[in-house]
Amino acid sequence: MPSERSFRQYYDEELLPTLQQFEARRQGIVRCFVTTVIVAVVVAGGAGLVTLAAHTSPAIFAVAAVVGVAAVVLAWFLLTRGFVLDFKHAVIAPIVKFCDESLTYSPKTHISRSVFRASRIFQHSIDRYSGEDHVHGKIGATAIEFSEVHAEYKTRHRDSKGRTHTQWHTIFKGLFFIADFNKHFTGCTVVLPDMAERTFGWLGKKLQEWNVARSGQLVKLEDPEFEKLFVVYGDDQIEARYILSPSLMRRITDFRNKTGKPIALSFVGSNVNLAITTGKNMFEPRLFSPLTDFSMATEYLADLGLAVGIVEELNLNTRIWTKA
């Protein structure tokens, strides 16, 4: 990972001119948008006054209000869509290349649904799946791929009047990361955040043992801090321990404590998959504050660093076993 100073230099020399162009464009967009809002409010307000004065039905006001809101939303959509994509190509892509030469960035693609499902971290069936900000490349000896992913499922229910309401629930929203793991293995081992043991202690562990919803056996590991944070299910007890060496358990615990965000891992098909619920939309341009702010650029680099740093954090470049 490049240092703060070299990034500052890169920022001043390469990024700042581009950012200044985008800043001008952004200000234009904001002005346009604010104008649209004012116009919509005036029109709706005017219609409201007319309704009050002429004592006609409130339908005119309602129509004006709806049209106003629709106009505002449409304006926002049209103005920002092109802007965000151009920004990502012009600013985020170079930052990714600066982070590591081998990485390629694609703003509109994402990790495929089948790969996401194949990780077996989330078992719920997916009704809606989307994502963005796809990066892939090779850090040292480890091939990596990551993107933002949003997976949801829907529930339908009928209310008292017989209408069906659809509700969307989030299965996962955050950063999904895949890397080539440094050991050979054949089965599947899943590491999930441990709610039960933290709340219920020994009884929680018993409940986990009886959890038939998860395929695979419960694997009880020796690191107490790791066990407090995570619960492990695996096809094979020995293979799970081969993968989760004491050193790796320590590293996963440290990473979890460092990021402070819920993480889940799985080891399948010779890869390690990591799902981090970041709680924010990464690599987006801020539309209501100056784009030339250096802290914004460092935030992009830090978010990138979080993902790319996983290779270092989990020591994936140590290749002393039979897998090269």
Partner 1 sequence: MIAVWILVAIVVFAALVFFVMYNSLVGKKNQVENAFAGMDTMLKKRYDLIPNLVATVKQYMTHEADTLTKVTELRAKATSGTLSSDEKVDLNNRLGKMLGGIMVAVEAYPDLKASENFQQLQRSLNEIEEQLSASRRAFNASVMDFNNAVEMFPTNIVAGMMGYTRRRMFEIPESERENPNVKELFNA
Site residues, partner 1 (CB under 8 A) = 183-184, 219-222, 237-239, 241-242, 245, 320-322
When the beta carbons of 211 and 245 are compared against partner 1, the nearer one is 245
Residue 144 near residue 305, CB atoms below 8 Å: no
When the beta carbons of 136 and 241 are compared against partner 1, the nearer one is 241
Q: Is residue 130 helix, strand or coil?
A: strand
Q: Is residue 5 helix, strand or coil?
A: helix
Other CB atoms within 10 A of residue 311 CB: 23
Residue 190 near residue 266, CB atoms below 8 Å: yes
When the beta carbons of 87 and 185 are compared against partner 1, the nearer one is 185
When the beta carbons of 92 and 240 are compared against partner 1, the nearer one is 240
Q: How far is the CB of 275 from partner 1 (least distance, A)?
A: 25
When the beta carbons of 197 and 239 are compared against partner 1, the nearer one is 239
When the beta carbons of 96 and 244 are compared against partner 1, the nearer one is 244
Q: How far is the CB of 121 from partner 1 (least distance, A)?
A: 22
Beta-sheet strand order (sheet of 142-158) = 104-106, 128-139, 142-158, 164-180, 271-276, 263-268, 189-193, 230-234, 217-219
Q: How far is the CB of 240 from partner 1 (least distance, A)?
A: 8
Q: How far is the CB of 231 from partner 1 (least distance, A)?
A: 14
Which stretches of the chain are assigned E, i.e. beta strand?
104-106, 128-139, 142-158, 164-180, 189-193, 217-219, 230-234, 263-268, 271-276
Element of type H or E holding 19:
helix 16-54
Other CB atoms within 10 A of residue 34 CB: 10
Residue in this structure with the two tokens 């992913």, named with its chain if needed: 149
Q: How far is the CB of 209 from partner 1 (least distance, A)?
A: 10
Q: How far is the CB of 324 from partner 1 (least distance, A)?
A: 9
